[in-house]
Structure 1
C-alpha cells in the first residue's frame, strides 16, 4: 500500500510540474491565465486590434514562460495595441505591430520589475500617430538584465525615441543585439534618437548596457542615432549605413566604442562618432566615405561648457582614440567641434594614437586651435598628399588594400566578412535584405 501511495505521489509531482501550452485569441484570455515555469502561450494568427497585452509571470532560467505567435509574423497587433512584459524569465517571440499607433506611453514596455526577460523575432513597423508631435516610445527597457534581439524597427516618424533604456539606482545590464533599425526620417528637432541609453538627469549612473551587431540604416531622426546618456556602456560591432545621425557619447562617462562600421557612400551629412565627457575609449572602428563635418565628422571631439549642468555639453577628458581606420572621409578628426564664445573648454589629456587615415590632405579640422591634443603614431596613406603632415602623423606613400565587397583593410589585416554578411540580423520570418553595397 505504501509503495502504491509513494508511486502516486511521484506521478502527482511530475504532473504538477509539467509545462502546459495555451492557445489564445485575445489579451483578455491571456489575463485569465495563471502561468507557471515552462508554460507556453500561443497567440493565434490574424489581426489583433486594440489589444492591451499584459504578460505576467515568473519563469526560471531553465524554464522560461513563453508568449509567442503560433505562426511567427502572422499575429499582427494593430489599432492601439501594446505589450507590457512584467516578471522574470519571460520570452516574447514572433509578434508584429503594424497598422496602428498610440497617443502616449510605449508600444512594448519592460516593467520596472522585469528581469531576465526577452523580446525577440518581433517587428514594429510604421506604428505612427498622424500627429508627428505626439511623443511615445516603441520600446522601453526598464528593470534589469533584459534583452531585445533579432527584431525589426522601421519608419518611426513621430516624436520620441525608438528604443530607450531607463536608469535606476542600480545598474541594469541590458542587451540590445542583432536588431535591424530601418529608415527613420528626419524629425526636424530633438527627440528623434533611434536608441538612447539613459537620460541627462540620470547620466552619472552606471548602466552596463551592451549594444552589439545591430544594423542602423538611414537612421536620420536627429543628430544622434545612438545617444549614450549613462556610464560604462559598450557599443560594439554595429553597422551605421548612410546615416546622418551619429553615435554620440552625449552624457555619462567610461563608454567603450569599438568594431563599428560607418559607411556613408558619399551621402550628404553622413557622420560617425561624437565624443563628450570623460574616460571614453574609441578604438578599432571603421569609417568610409562620410561627408559630415564638425559635430558630424568621422570622429568629433566636442568643446565643453564651463560650470555645466546635467543637460550641458561636459568637457572631454581622458579620451583615447586609437586604431581606427578612416577612408575618404571629408573631415576625419574634428577638434573642439561646436566651439563658440560660451562653449570653449578644451579637451584635456586626450590621445589620438595608431589611427590609419586614407586622405590626400590634413585629417585635422581645428575649431579651436588652442586645444592641445596628444597625437602619436598615426599614419596617413596617400599617393598625392598635399602639404606636410602634422606632428604625430606619418605619411605613407602607399595604398591600402580593398576587398571585393568594397571595404578596405589595415596593413597586414587578413580578408574578413563583416558581421552582417555572416550573422542573422532581424526576425527570421521577415526575410530582410541585409546586403549593404559600398559604392
Structure 2
C-alpha cells in the first residue's frame, strides 16, 4: 500500500488541485478573507467574526523564532465557526518553532495546512470546539516529543495525516485540566497515522488517550475510522488510559502497536481490524466490552485478558500504585474472530487474576500452539466459542466451545468470512447485545459466531485504505 505524502513529487500537484470549499465555514453568508503574509493572517484573525473564512495563499511561511500565529479570545458558533484554511490542501507550509497558539477561543476550524514546526500544537483547557481537519503533520524530529496535545472539551481531529517520526514521542495526546480530569467528548476520526519508527520499547504511541493519573476520569471520547500503518514506536498504537471511551472501526496494519485499554473502566472496543502486525487487543480494568474485532496474522498475542498488580484502581492510591496494572474484571468478550496469530486468546500471571469475564461466540482458528492459554481466572463464563485448526484447544473449559470447520473464504480485501453451510451460522448464544457485525450487517435475533454475520451482500464496512482517510478522504 502506498503512503500518501505532501510536498514530494506528484503529490504536490495532486493536493494543489483540491481547493478547500466554502462548506467548511458552516455558513452561506460567511466572508472570505484572502491573506498572503503572516502579518495579514494575524490581522485577519484579530478581526475575525463568526462565519468568517480566512483563506491563506499557497506558499511556505516561516514563523520567526519566539513568534506565533495567535488565536486568542476568538469565538465562532457551532453554525458559523471561524475558519482558517489553506487555499489548497497542503498548499500552505508552516515552518519555524511554532505555528498556531490558541487561548480562550471556541468554534475554530484549522484546515488544509502542512505543519512542519518543532513545538507542540496545544489545544488548552480554556478553549472548546476546536477542529483540526485535512492537515498534514510532520514535525521536526528533534523538536517536542508530542505533536498535538488536546486538553479542551469537544475537540475534533479528523482527516489528517500524521507521519514519519523516528524519535520518542506521540502524534496525538488527549489529556485534560489539572492532573486527574479528562477533556470531554474528544473525537479522533478518519485520520491516517503512519511510519512511526522509534525503536525504543516505550513512548512512541500514535494516540494516547489519557494517562495513569486520569484513569478514573470518564472522557466519553471516540477514536474511530482511523488507519494505522507501520506504527512501530510502541506496543500500543491506541493507548487508552481513561474511562468511558469508544474505540471502533479502526484498521491497524503491519504495525507493532495494538489497541490497549491500559488504565480505566467501561470502554468499548468494537469492529476493529488488526492485520499482519505484532500486538492485538490487551485489556485491563473493569466493565469493558470487546466485540466484533478481527485479528489476523499477528506475530505477537492477539487478545490478552490482563491480570493486575492491584485488583482495582481507586482515588486514594499513590501515583506509583496507579501506574500498575488493574486486573480485568467483568469484561464481555464476544463475536471476535482470531485467525492464524502466533498467540491467540491469552492471560497473564500477575498477583490479581481477572474475574467474572464472559467469553462467548468467538471464532478461533490456528495451526500452531494453543488457541487458548489463560492464566489464573475466577468466575469466567465460556459459551459457544468455535475452535478449528491443528492448534491445540489449550485450557478452555470443555463446555465452553465446539470444534468444527467454520468454512471460511478469503475475500478480495483479505478478510476471511463465513460461507454457506458454516457451523458458525446461527450458533451464537445471542446473549450479548450486538446490533450488527464488523461489516455492518445486522445481527438479528439468531446470530452467527465470530465477527462476521453470514451475508451474500456487499460489506458496508471494510478494512480501511489510504483512500478512506487523511486530507483527501470523503
TM interval, shorter chain, is 0.7 to 0.9
CA distance in 2, matches of 1:422, 1:217: 9
In the TM superposition, residue 190 of structure 1 has moved relative to its aligned partner by 2.5
In the TM superposition, residue 346 of structure 1 has moved relative to its aligned partner by 0.2
Q: Could you tell me which residue of structure 1 aligns to residue 270 of structure 2?
A: 258
> 1:382-436: CA deviations, max 9, x gaps?
3x4656874212101343122122211145522525152597310029x9xxxxx
Q: Among residues 270, 285, 288, which one is paired with 1:277 in the alignment?
A: 285
Q: Could you tell me which residue of structure 1 aligns to residue 416 of structure 2?
A: 408
Q: Could you tell me which residue of structure 2 aligns to residue 34 of structure 1?
A: 47
Q: Among residues 339, 357, 360, which one is paired with 1:353 in the alignment?
A: 360
Residue 305 (str. 1) matches residue 309 (str. 2): yes
My pick for the range that moved more, 108-117 or 254-263, is 108-117
| 1:12-51 to 2 correspondences below 5 Å | 19-32=30-43, 33-50=46-63
My pick for the range that moved more, 203-212 or 56-65, is 56-65
In the TM superposition, residue 197 of structure 1 has moved relative to its aligned partner by 0.8
Q: Rg: which structure is higher?
A: 1
Match of 2:90, SS state, is coil
Residue 221 (str. 1) matches residue 230 (str. 2): no
Residue 93 (str. 1) matches residue 111 (str. 2): yes
CA distance in 2, matches of 1:170, 1:188: 27
Contact 1:239 1:262 in 2 (8 A): yes
> 1:26-77: CA deviations, max 9, x gaps?
4443333321111111112111113522234111122111100012211001
Q: Could you tell me which residue of structure 1 aligns to residue 299 of structure 2?
A: 291
Q: Could you tell me which residue of structure 2 aligns to residue 143 of structure 1?
A: 152
Q: Among residues 402, 410, 420, which one is paired with 2:464 in the alignment?
A: 420
Contact 2:241 2:262 in 1 (8 A): yes
Residue 397 (str. 1) matches residue 410 (str. 2): no
Contact 2:125 2:176 in 1 (8 A): no
Q: Among residues 212, 225, 233, which one is paired with 1:200 in the alignment?
A: 212
Q: Structure 1 pair 326/189, CA: closer, same or farther in 2 (3 Å)?
A: closer
CA distance in 2, matches of 1:61, 1:193: 31
| 1:2-151 to 2 correspondences below 5 Å | 19-32=30-43, 33-50=46-63, 52-56=68-72, 57-86=74-103, 87-98=105-116, 100-102=117-119, 106=120, 108-125=121-138, 127-129=140-142, 135-151=144-160
Q: Among residues 336, 339, 343, which one is paired with 1:327 in the alignment?
A: 339
Q: Structure 1 pair 390/80, CA: closer, same or farther in 2 (3 Å)?
A: same
Contact 1:381 1:399 in 2 (8 A): no
In the TM superposition, residue 142 of structure 1 has moved relative to its aligned partner by 1.6
Q: Structure 1 pair 113/311, CA: closer, same or farther in 2 (3 Å)?
A: same
> 1:333-368: CA deviations, max 9, x gaps?
1112xx3xxx321001112110011123531123x3
In the TM superposition, residue 18 of structure 1 has moved relative to its aligned partner by 6.4
CA distance in 2, matches of 1:289, 1:424: 23
What is the TM-score when the length of structure 1 is the normalising length?
0.83
Q: Could you tell me which residue of structure 2 aligns to residue 238 of structure 1?
A: 250
Contact 2:310 2:324 in 1 (8 A): no
Q: Among residues 168, 171, 183, which one is paired with 1:162 in the alignment?
A: 171
Q: Could you tell me which residue of structure 2 aligns to residue 7 of structure 1?
A: none
In structure 2, runs of 5+ residues without a counterpart are 1-27, 314-320, 419-424, 426-452
Match of 1:139, SS state, is strand
Q: Structure 1 pair 319/25, CA: closer, same or farther in 2 (3 Å)?
A: same
CA distance in 2, matches of 1:81, 1:303: 43
Q: Structure 1 pair 301/159, CA: closer, same or farther in 2 (3 Å)?
A: same
In structure 1, runs of 5+ residues without a counterpart are 1-16, 432-439
In the TM superposition, residue 112 of structure 1 has moved relative to its aligned partner by 1.4
Match of 1:183, SS state, is strand
Match of 2:414, SS state, is coil
Q: Among residues 178, 193, 204, which one is paired with 2:190 in the alignment?
A: 178
What is the TM-score when the length of structure 2 is the normalising length?
0.77
Q: Could you tell me which residue of structure 1 aligns to residue 384 of structure 2?
A: 377
Q: Structure 1 pair 126/63, CA: closer, same or farther in 2 (3 Å)?
A: closer
In the TM superposition, residue 316 of structure 1 has moved relative to its aligned partner by 1.3
In the TM superposition, residue 101 of structure 1 has moved relative to its aligned partner by 2.5
In the TM superposition, residue 92 of structure 1 has moved relative to its aligned partner by 0.8
> 1:233-287: CA deviations, max 9, x gaps?
00000000011112110111101000000001xx5xx111111111111110001
**Pairwise CA RMSD:** 2.4
CA distance in 2, matches of 1:77, 1:200: 33
Q: Structure 1 pair 394/71, CA: closer, same or farther in 2 (3 Å)?
A: same
My pick for the range that moved more, 158-167 or 389-398, is 389-398
